[in-house]
Amino acid sequence: MILPINTYSDPVLGLKAKPLKGVDAAIEALIAEMFDTMYKAPGIGLAAPQVGHSIRLVVVDISSIEKYADFKPMVVINPRIVAVRGRNAMEEGCLSLPGVAGDVVRPSAITLHYRDEKFEEQTADFDAMMARVLQHEIDHLDGKLFVDRMEKRDRRKIQKELDAIAEGRVKADYPLARDAAKIVAEV
């Protein structure tokens, strides 16, 4: 099932998400739906708060990007960045901010402690695109969006687009939660 995506200014995106205590059938179903939703959009990462669940769960698949075709889809639960190395700027976008993109400076490599889809503990190093996507998605679990990390000057340039999203004046090729809520309300 494709889930509607919550957009900029939706309160769920500003919350600190709760850790998971395990993976049960409901979480497994949510993980499958998050992958479906991410592929449909299409996107390369999706955090549970973006589909209205304030829990520390992320899915990532960067294999659609040329250089990264060998990368396997990944489920990341209760992640904790335990070390960072380097810094670089990269342009980011977000399914919760349709049509908005901007440069963000972040560490270029990370060591991540997390639980996988079987809730088994893992520690692994990530660099390049994976480090970038993971940090972006983990920010979602802490109520942060990439625009919060942009230079003030750059952010001012996109403020109009942000206001438009906040006011519901935005369209995307994938379902948005606000529209879904509207449809329910109209019925």
CB of 136 to Zn ion, least distance (A): 6
Backbone angles phi, psi at 43, to 5 degrees: -140, 175
Binding region for Zn ion (CB under 5 A) out of 57-65, 88-96, 105-113, 121-129: 88-96
**Toward Zn ion, which CB reaches closer, 31 or 44?**
44
Judge whether 138 and 58 are in contact, CB under 8 Å.
yes
CB of 122 to Zn ion, least distance (A): 22
Regarding 94 and contact with Zn ion (CB under 5 A), the answer is: yes
Question: Which single residue brings its beta carbon nearest to Zn ion?
Answer: 94
Q: How far apart are CA 93 and CA 99, in angstroms?
A: 8
Binding region for Zn ion (CB under 5 A) out of 62-70, 90-98, 108-116, 155-163: 90-98
Residue 45, CA distances (Å) to 21, 34, 62, 71, 74 in order: 22, 9, 8, 13, 9
Instruction: Map residue 37 onto helix, strand or coil.
Output: helix
CA 82, distance to chain mean position in Å, is 20
91 among known catalytic residues? no
Binding mask 40-79 for Zn ion (x = CB under 5 A): ----------------------------------------
By CB atoms closer than 10 A (0-12, 13-18, 19+), residue 167 is exposed
Q: Which of 137, 151, 167, 186 is catalytic?
A: 137
The footprint of Zn ion (CB under 5 A) covers 94
Active site residue ranges:
137
